[in-house]
Structure 1
Amino acid sequence: MLAIACGTAPILPAALGAPNAANLDDATAGRIDELLALRAAAPGGQSRGELIELLSRQFLGTPYGADLLVGSATQPEQLVIDFRRVDCFTYLDYVEALSRSTDRDQFVANLIQTRYTDGRVDFQQRKHFFSDWSHTARIAATDITATLSTAAVTVTKHLNAKADAGTYLPGLPVVIRGITYIPSAAVNDNVIGQLRTGDYIGAYTDLPGLDVTHVGIFVMTPTGPIFRNASSLAANNKVVDSPFADYVRSTPGIVVLRAQ
């Protein structure tokens, strides 16, 4: 999915495994089977959002890891599946694919469809930006940001273009795209009341060339809304639940995608 780490620096690929092959370690294979069994045992009639909450909850405490995806303009893309550690973007990849799947083979196929445009495991096809989820096939989620507030702002972004005329990801084109976000000061009770458990939340950034710098999942709990995310903060360094309002105040605004 997103090529920008859960901060502002690009992920730098490292060598791992064979090109275009899913090399599952025993721990990951076992966890996939456990989570799919949990999904199968869930009460009938659960919404996608409820399944996303159930599955994402199982990752709480999973260590944060950076530089997880492998591939570049000069290095063959490799299909990385590793539940032993996640970054904020691979976390969403895994949860989204799990929520659509009933067995391990289907999970792998859905992960490929979630992470790559047209299901082709290729660096050029990887969904490097959060907004790719709502703009490229297979559409994983719908951008509902503009419907949530009259204060929503749309900015034309040149994704992948740095301010110094370089690119974050050499070998990839610059994509001109309108990014709609709700400024953090406008994320009030009315906006929060329209969010649903399982919505994907991106932290909008004013930086040129990027749409968001962090992503997570909105969950409404009996004690209030939380932001479930793979946090790289030194105080966390794992998947955590953070108070949603506190997190929003730390960002310029939010982008909201809703699972299809």
Structure 2
Amino acid sequence: MSSKRYKAVLFSILMPCSIYLAQATTAEQYYALIDNQVAASASTEQRIVQLSASLLGAPYVDGNLGEGEFGQYDRDPLYRFDVFDCTTYVETVLAGALSTSSHDFADNINKIRYQDGLVSFVTRNHFASADWLPNNQGLLQDITTQVGQAETLIATTLIDKPAWYQAMKEDRLQSLPDSVNKQERLDALHHEGQAFQAQSVSTAYVPLTAVFQGDQINQALLDRIPNGSIISMVRPDYDVKKWIGTNLNITHQSIAVRKDGQLFLRHASQLKKEVTDEDFIEYFAKYRDNATLKGFNVQQAHF
């Protein structure tokens, strides 16, 4: 074997170990922070802010979690700490903040990510407006109307889960071994989707017109957004059915944090390609004249 080929083979063997060790170290640090917070009797707000800050700079990777090594359709990890998308980031932070010990983390992220904590593709909280928010109301409280008051609006849409499942292609199957017949597995996934029904959903949101009032910023409204609250971007009846089989109400999730009195969005940003902080007003100002993003939903953790 040539020296070049030997090095390539050696790299392919050692690389997964290196990745695992890097993740384990990050997990160890995250678990230590959870335990330190518990020992310090940190408040829910403090836990969310501190845990979310510990993951700043992590790369953005879409669809990075699945049902683990025994998943039928998606064998990506159940949780990880090295990469995030917008929702897996929020889930990881909330699971850590909810934990009374680092040993609770795995169970807690499953409770947040899956209906009744039952791990499977079909019980995953895929849709923020139809699944994730309503199924987590035991941990979260929708305070959108308290923030938006009389200016609060309601977005409605039809989440067509059967059509969403039917629109799935083979690339929706993640990390399955070559021994699996992908077409048969996809057919099985399509069949499972037939058990669902299209669901009408309503999502309360603070319209951007309530935040930006001419040349003025409604600071009193912004002051009503709690530190550490979950902010979901609302695009009422977002017309993406031709691509994914269903329309949506929510397309992005983040965490509101205050630093030196200034409000930021802390999120796994697809545009920035990492977990980052963005000035709240500057972020939403980009969408003032946008035809689809109309406002945001606000949830406060109460555990």
Bin for the TM-score computed over the shorter chain: 0.7 to 0.9
CA 1:138–1:123 in structure 2 vs 1: closer, same or farther (change >3 Å)?
farther
TM-score (norm 1): 0.79
Match of 2:73 in 1: 76
CA shift for structure 1 position 185:
1.7
Match of 2:40 in 1: 44
Structure 1 unaligned regions, length at least 5: 1-23
CA shift for structure 1 position 75:
4.4
CA deviations on 1:154-188 (whole Å, 9 max, x unpaired) are 13221246xxxx83343254221211111112132
Q: How does 1:185-204 map to 2 (within 5 A)?
A: 185-187=209-211, 188-204=218-234
Q: How does 1:80-229 map to 2 (within 5 A)?
A: 80-131=78-129, 132-136=131-135, 139-149=138-148, 150-160=150-160, 167-170=163-166, 171=193, 172-187=196-211, 188-206=218-236, 207-208=238-239, 209-222=247-260, 224-229=262-267
TM-score (norm 2): 0.69
CA 1:77–1:222 in structure 2 vs 1: closer, same or farther (change >3 Å)?
same
User: Is the deviation greater in 27-36 or in 88-97?
Assistant: 27-36
Q: Looking at secondary structure, tell me which structure has more helix per residue.
A: 2
Mapped pair 1:246 → 2:282: yes
Amino acid at match of 1:191: L
1:232 alignment partner, one of 267, 270, 273? 270
Say which SS state the counterpart of residue 167 (structure 1) adopts: helix
Match of 1:258 in 2: 300
CA shift for structure 1 position 120:
0.4
Match of 1:62 in 2: 58
CA shift for structure 1 position 256:
0.7
Q: Which one has the largest radius of gyration? A: 2
Identity fraction in percent: 28
User: Is the deviation greater in 24-33 or in 142-151?
Assistant: 24-33
CA 1:143–1:223 in structure 2 vs 1: closer, same or farther (change >3 Å)?
closer
Structure 2 unaligned regions, length at least 5: 1-18, 167-192, 212-217, 240-246, 288-292
The question of whether the paired residues in 2 share the 8 Å contact of 1:215 and 1:229 is answered with yes
